């Protein structure tokens, strides 16, 4: 089957393809599907914003669509940047800003999690799915893979930017949420064949 990912973030699209293609789901970008939209993400929750993005694209393409709204929630910052993760700092400066804000936070209080909410819509209806990846914030940026906050997010002693794509996808918030999406698609469309 084909599904459109409602996102303008090429890193999210790449990860979704890596996870869903082997399961037999071909992920089209919203541009490939002819939906060049960028809706205002003015919801209060990840689920609200994911559904805003999914609906905006579904209204144009009328085929299965899913959207990912995600972010980093840092306990010492009372859950910030959370739903504002994309707007927390100019692109490329988010890790520097976070490390500055965390510079006086002791090791025991550096816990954080990535949250991912997937909203999906097709002719059978819509829903949302959530997953998280728990870890802690490091003291320096490490690793050259991934995107966003990956270089400062420690999972079992390595940052997500130090993991290969396969390693990140196996433990990430996005990987877990997309595997739940796969279950929904399997229920609705039957088992998919990666070779077709
Ligand atoms: P779309 O809305 O077009 O999908 P976006 O990047 O603006 O793209 P969000 O509004 O969901 O997406 O913001 C998510 C931000 O959270 C993202 O820009 C990163 O800064 C951060 N983020 C989410 N998942 C991440 C991950 O796996 N690794 C590192 N940072 C991540």
Task: Kindly give the number of the ligand 1 atom that is closest to the alpha carbon of 147.
Answer: 29
User: Along the 196 residues of the chain, how does pLDDT read in single tens digits?
Assistant: 999 999 999 999 999 999 999 999 999 999 999 999 999 999 999 999 999 999 999 999 999 999 999 999 999 999 999 999 999 999 999 999 999 999 999 999 999 999 999 999 999 999 999 999 999 999 999 999 999 999 999 999 999 999 999 999 999 999 999 999 999 999 999 988 777 5
| Strand ranges of the sheet holding 125-137, from the earlier edge strand across to the other edge | 26-29, 2-5, 65-74, 111-122, 125-137, 153-155, 158-159
Q: Could you tell me if 43 and 149 are in contact, meaning their C-beta atoms sit under 8 angstroms apart?
A: no
Can 69 be counted among the known catalytic residues? yes
Indicate the top mutation candidate among 35, 71, 90, 92 to test ligand 1's pocket, ranked by most ligand atoms within 8 A of CB: 71
C-alpha to C-alpha distances, 189 to 36, 54, 85, 124, nearest whole angstrom: 27, 19, 34, 10
Task: Kindly give the number of the ligand 1 atom that is closest to the alpha carbon of 6.
Answer: 4
Q: Which CATH number does the domain housing residue 60 bear?
A: 3.90.950.10
Q: Report the separation in Å between the CA atom of 75 and the middle of ligand 1, taken as the mean of its atom positions.
A: 18
Number of domains in the chain: 1
**Residues whose CB falls within 8 Å of the CB of residue 154, separated by 6 or more in sequence, listed in order:** 135, 136, 137, 138
Nearest CA to ligand 1 atom 22: 71
Residues spanned by the domain of 35 = 2-193
Q: DSSP code of 125?
A: E
> How confident is the model at residue 124, as a pLDDT?
95
> How confident is the model at residue 194, as a pLDDT?
77
């Amino acid at each position: 089957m084909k599904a459109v990912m409602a996102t303008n973030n090429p890193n999210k699209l790449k990860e979704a393809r890596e996870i869903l293609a082997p399961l037999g789901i071909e992920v089209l970008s919203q541009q490939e599907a002819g939906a060049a939209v960028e809706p205002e993400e003015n919801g209060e929750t990840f689920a609200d914003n994911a559904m805003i993005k999914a609906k905006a694209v579904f209204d144009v393409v009328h085929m299965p669509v899913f959207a990912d709204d995600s972010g980093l929630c840092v306990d010492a910052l009372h859950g910030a940047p959370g739903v504002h993760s994309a707007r927390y700092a100019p692109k490329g400066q988010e890790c520097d800003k976070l490390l500055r804000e965390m510079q006086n936070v002791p090791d025991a209080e550096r816990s954080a999690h990535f949250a991912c909410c997937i909203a999906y819509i097709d002719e059978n209806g819509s829903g949302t799915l959530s997953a998280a990846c728990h870890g802690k914030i490091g003291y320096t940026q490490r690793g050259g893979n991934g995107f966003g906050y990956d270089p400062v997010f420690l999972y079992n002693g390595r940052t997500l930017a130090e993991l290969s794509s396969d390693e990140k996808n196996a433990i990430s918030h996005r990987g877990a949420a997309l595997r739940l999406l796969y279950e929904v698609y399997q229920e609705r469309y039957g088992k998919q064949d990666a070779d077709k």
